[in-house]
Amino acid sequence: MVDELDARIIEIFSSDPKMSVLEASRTLEVARATVQARLDRLTARGVVTGWGPHLSAEGIGYPVRAYCSLAIHQDSGHDAVAEALSGVPEVLELHTVSGEFDLLACVVARSNADLQRVLDAVIATGTVVRSSTVVVLNSLIPPRALPLVRSAAGEGRP
């Protein structure tokens, strides 16, 4: 669980990842050692997973995003498919799922026409039997986690 101070620490570093621990401690009005210990604990527990730059596929020149439901060769296994698909740079995410399909992949492309090349590359791995693809038209809520942090800390509860 995260408490209110954890949530405030996460929020302040999410808004300014370059902020120093000392500056954060002054802003939050808590000891520097407290902020550092909380960050260390949040990292060790897997709540905070990194501090790198957030990249935009659109900004790199890949404005088309699609989700592909994939049925795989059952004798290949999920790990072999994941390894094969990791060789396709446009595959941004891959998840095992329940239901009719085995995997869900998030892919990007330079254009709708380029999406066909990406899908062909996925199929060319030889690990996918069939796929079904939906193209994202507009993203109404971008990837986020801060509302979960606030809710877990009790701030978002009624």
101 shares a domain with 122:
yes
Quick one: pLDDT at residue 138? 96
Residue 155, pLDDT above cutoff 80: no
61 shares a domain with 31:
no
Confidence of residue 52 (pLDDT cuts 50, 70, 90): confident
Is the pTM higher than 0.85? The answer reads no
Q: How confident is the model over 75-112, as pLDDT tens digits?
A: 889 999 999 999 999 999 999 999 999 999 999 999 99
- Find the mean pLDDT for residues 22-45: 97
Strand partners, 52: none
Whether 153 maps to a domain, the answer reads no
Q: How confident is the model over 7-26, as pLDDT tens digits?
A: 999 999 998 989 999 999 99
100 shares a domain with 49:
no
Question: Taking a C-beta distance cutoff of 8 angstroms, is the pair 10, 48 a contact?
Answer: yes
Question: Taking a C-beta distance cutoff of 8 angstroms, is the pair 12, 28 a contact?
Answer: yes
| Residue 118: closest CA among 57, 46, 55, 41 | 57
Task: Give the CA-trace dihedral at 146, 149, 153, 155, to 10 degrees.
Answer: 30
What's the Rg (C-alpha) of the chain? 20
Confidence of residue 156 (pLDDT cuts 50, 70, 90): low
Whether 158 maps to a domain, the answer reads no
| Residue 126: closest CA among 81, 60, 74 | 81
Domain membership of residue 97 as a residue range: 57-135
47 shares a domain with 13:
yes
